[in-house]
Structure 1
Amino acid sequence: MRIVAALLVAAFHIDALAPFADSSIARTYHSLFGQGGWAGVTFFFVLSGFVLTWAARPADTAAGFWRRRLFKLYPNHVLVLAAGVLLVIYLGIFPGTGIAVANLFLVHVWDWRFESWWGVNPVSWSLCCEVFFYACFPLLIGLVNRVRPSRLWIWVVAVTAAIAAVPSLAHAVLPDEAGSAALPIGITELWFINGFPPVRTLDFLLGIFLARMVKEGQLPRLPLVPALAVAVGGYVLSTQVPYEYGLAACTALPFGLLVAAATQADLRGSFSPFRNKPMVWLGQISYAFYLWHYLVLMWLADLFAERQPLSTAGNLGFIALALTVVVLLSWATFRWVETPMMRRFAVPRRRRPATATSSPDLVAQTASAPLAARGEGQRLGN
């Protein structure tokens, strides 16, 4: 499912970096994907809370959890950031050493100024939120585990309401700022609603509660196709409401229910379009895909700058070329950076199970195994 969200984010950025010359096609494309970036990231945040809760075991320690997260997140990030530094220097838009260093340590989104949280690789702002989630997770899961199973639904409703209330809170506490041609709301308001880590922790927390509901058998059976329809409906609604309410308020719960429904389908062994081998493989490379795609789009947009905006056929070719380059880079990064680093460092050697060193395809195996039977391999691979 991650690759679908990553493609939504990529489609959103294509709208900005590779516009169609035909105005009617450009409007149609924007109506379809103009909210894709916000929706895709919201999905990632909810999914993170769900998957980490699903994979958590009573014997887990905070140190072990943080170690796995560190070696999952940082190797890819450092590699792509290094490429990003070279690219922005080449393009003449290097934001400065201070911002680059903040981007390296994934703290740049704590600064609300656009040039800071945009950073070197713009999509890495979401990793700053993920780092905050991971830091809080041992505490959050301990508190959530104290909630009686019969009351979990109350907390799901409460967290969903809080997510929906964030735009109103932003209006109340932030100074008025004029929008721009690109955004109908001010940059500080966008940052607070969409990028401020404590606020986005609500999405993560929603995923935690939904995972517990599925684990405890407190969530009624959700057929996958209706859940998918609800998720699509939430996305469509996000394109119709005021901009600030379309960032997360309309999609967080529908996306969470979709993840829960897909999990139930996996547990039952019933059909899921996300569980076939091509989709599993694309899901495996999706983290690298997410990190690489904006830099590749910037590079190709610069190469084709003199021909922008492209014709419809030219733009479709541009998109196909960009996606091909991103997929190849993502596969190489997953194969030669992400997988070896997780296999070597995610679990201390004295505790690493024998299969972690004997199996050449550990991550692929854990990604395609049934959710209920992943055990230690799941904790290593997520």
Structure 2
Amino acid sequence: MSSAARPPVPSPVSTSRLAWLDALRGIGAMAVVVEHTLPWYLPSLRFYWFNPGVYGILVFFLVSGYIIPASLERRGDVRAFWISRFFRLYPLYLAVIAVMLALAWWVPVREAVVRDGSAVAAHATMLLDVVSVGGIADTMWTLSYEMVFYLVVTALFLTRGHERSGTLAMAFAAAAVVVGLLSSGALLQGGWLAYASGVIFVCGLACVVWGRFRTVAAVVLGVMAVTLLAMGSRVPWLGLAIVAVMFAGTAIYRWERGTGPLWPVAVTAALVAAAPVWAIMNGWWWVRADVWVTTTALAGATFAGAMALRGRRLPKVVVWLGLISYSLYLVHHPVLKYVVAITGDLRSRELAYQLAMTGLALVVTMVLSALAYRYIEKPLQAMGRRLSRRLAAPPPRGSAAAGAAARCPGRDPGWGFARSRL
């Protein structure tokens, strides 16, 4: 596409740009909540023409793909990137795990979580789904693909291969189609996989953060991540398709900035849409061709629509939902289980009672998510920023990161959020 057809490039610290990313996160989080609420609380209202949960996580992954590589490139510092990521993801994640374990006497941990040390190792790395270990909270499986993406992007950044986002998106999407035709599940299995990946993860990230053998360690981590993605995932084609979607988000960012074409995104979308059609393991209702294509198309349309409206004022409630979206994503599923444990099975109750319990569960979820953001996420993220600033080298004079910091020292443009909100 010609440069004349590109949308105007917004300032890296534009408030509206931050708002549209927040709004997308809020939409994605609420879609996942809807998907998990309807079967338990309002089964008569559940619909099957598209899957809100998959739609929501695809929106999330597009946002992550759009902003995470940009963050790393603008910072130019993998140490600061990983410190910030740790304080962004782990505090709430560990808190939710601790609460669910503490309440396991009341609502037992689900059977998909193995009862040995491999579960500890898999949860410690967040590489749950790519080592075929169930998460304590059902929604934690998607964090595996976030972590895989971070590892791959870090390796690409340090080896100067990070600008080929469109090619990478198409490659992962094509791999999803091929692997779906050949593999019905994980080729690498067993508890040893969680232990081995855990050791490599810890040792490799230690090298990346502290600077010893940094590039070699990053490449080893990236290779491990891709290997686990293709050979250790419960559903390999799906994992590869998810990473393709994330790199498509990066390709959109590069097109917006005028540094890459848009056509690889269209090719990636077509391949991702086709990935489950002939896949050996595609037994879920939501990967039927009509449902899958509708779901992926709606996710792409939502991202495109929000991007087109990024200069407009957006509803504050949607932006606020984006602000607490990580808490909302991790908290809602346990809350839904605990409310059902108190009320009993709601599926056969009268609609009025179902609606009342749904309202109660959603209010409790929103309140706890807001509190988790205020008292866990926000202060720990601030701590992470202070630590990363203390340990990070200043950006070279005249670099894009230095210029952005000078224009707006109160923001971190690479993360796509105001500092006060991270």
Correspondent of 1:107 among 127, 148, 160:
127
Are residues 1:302 and 2:341 paired? Answer: yes
Distance 2:250 2:345 in 1: 48
Distance 2:116 2:344 in 1: 27
The residue aligned with 2:107 is: 91
2:381 is aligned, of 320, 329, 342, to 342
For 2:258, which of 195, 216, 232 is the aligned residue? 216
| Amino acid of the structure 2 residue aligned with 1:122 | D
CA contact (8 A) 1:9 1:36 kept: yes
Q: Give the C-alpha shift of residue 104 in structure 1.
A: 3.3
Q: Tell me whether 1:321 sits opposite 2:354 in the alignment.
A: no
Counterpart code for 2:413 = G
Contact persistence 2:185–2:235 (CA under 8 A): no
The answer to which of 43-52 and 99-108 deviates more is 99-108
CA shift at 1:130, angstroms? 1.3
Contact 1:289–1:326 under 8 Å retained in 2 = yes
Whole-angstrom CA distance in 1 between matches of 2:42 and 2:142: 24
Structure 1 residues 245 and 204, CA gap change in structure 2 (3 angstroms): farther
Which of 328, 350, 355 does residue 289 from structure 1 map onto?
328
Contact 1:53 / 1:212 at 8 angstroms: preserved in 2?
A: no
Report how far residue 322 of structure 1 moved. Answer: 1.0
Do structure 1's residue 259 and structure 2's residue 303 form an aligned pair? Answer: yes
CA distance in structure 2 between the aligned counterparts of 1:52 and 1:6, rounded to whole angstroms = 18
In structure 2, runs of 5+ residues without a counterpart are 1-23, 188-230, 263-268, 278-283, 393-407
Structure 1 residue 191: Cα displacement: 2.7
Question: How many residues matched?
Answer: 318
How far residue 54 of structure 1 moved from its aligned partner, in angstroms, is 3.6
- The structure-2 alpha-carbon separation of the partners of 1:97 and 1:320, relative to structure 1 and needing over 3 Å to count, comes to farther
What is residue 243 of structure 2 aligned with on the other side? 201
| Counterpart residue type for residue 48 of structure 2 | S
Distance apart, 1:300 and its partner CA: 0.9
Contact 1:75 1:338 in 2 (8 A): yes
- Which residues of structure 1 form unaligned runs of 5+? 21-25, 175-187, 221-229, 353-369
Match of 2:30 in 1: 7
Report the Cα distance in structure 2 between the residues aligned to 1:195 and 1:39, rounded to whole angstroms.
14
Q: How far does residue 263 in structure 1 lie from its aligned partner after superposition? A: 3.2
Q: Distance in 2 between matches of 1:306 and 1:49?
A: 39
Cα deviation for residue 284 of structure 1 reads: 0.5
In structure 1, how many angstroms separate the alpha carbons of the residues matched to 2:127 and 2:163? 31
Which residue does the alignment assign to 1:37? 53
Letter of the 1:16 counterpart: P
Residue 206 (structure 2) pairs with residue 168 (structure 1) = no
8 Å CA contact 1:166–1:193 kept in 2: the answer is yes
Query: Which of 65, 70, 91 is matched with 1:75 structurally?
Result: 91
The aligned residue for residue 57 of structure 1 is: 73
CA offsets 1:28-78 (integer angstroms, 9 cap, x no match): 523266x22222222222221112134343442112111111110001101
Query: How high is the TM-score relative to the length of structure 2?
Result: 0.63
2: CA distance between counterparts of 1:144 and 1:253?
A: 29
> Do the aligned partners of residues 306 and 146 (structure 1) sit closer, same or farther apart at CA in structure 2, a change above 3 Å counting?
closer
- Distance verdict in 2 for CA 1:208–1:215, change over 3 Å: same
Letter in 2 for 1:375: P
The answer for the alignment partner of 2:234 in structure 1 is 191
Letter of the 2:362 counterpart: L
Partner of 2:10: none
Matched residue of 1:57: which SS? helix
Note if contact 1:67-1:347 (Cα within 8 Å) is conserved in structure 2: no
Q: TM-score, normalised by structure 1?
A: 0.69
The change in CA–CA distance for 1:189 and 1:244 in structure 2 (over 3 A counts) is farther
Q: What is the distance in 2 between the residues matched to 1:104 and 1:68?
A: 19
Q: Contact (CA 8 Å) 1:66, 1:135: kept in 2 or not?
A: no
User: 2:60 & 2:141 partners in 1: Cα distance?
Assistant: 13
* Corresponding residue SS for 1:346: helix
Q: Distance in 2 between matches of 1:294 and 1:42?
A: 18
Report % sequence identity: 23
Distance 2:77 2:344 in 1: 51
Shift of 1:301: 1.2
The one-letter amino acid of 1:204's match is M
Letter in 2 for 1:283: G
Deviates more, 1:98-107 or 1:308-317: 98-107
- Equivalent residue letter for 1:39: Y
| Match in the other structure for 2:318 | 279
CA 1:279–1:322: 2 relative to 1, 3 Å: same
Write the letter of the residue equivalent to 1:350: R
Q: Which amino acid aligns with 1:42?
A: L
Residue pairs, 1:134-145, within 5 angstroms: 134-141=150-157, 145=162
Question: Given the alignment, which residue of 111, 136, 139 partners 1:123?
Answer: 139
Determine if contact 1:49/1:206 at 8 Å carries over to the other structure: yes
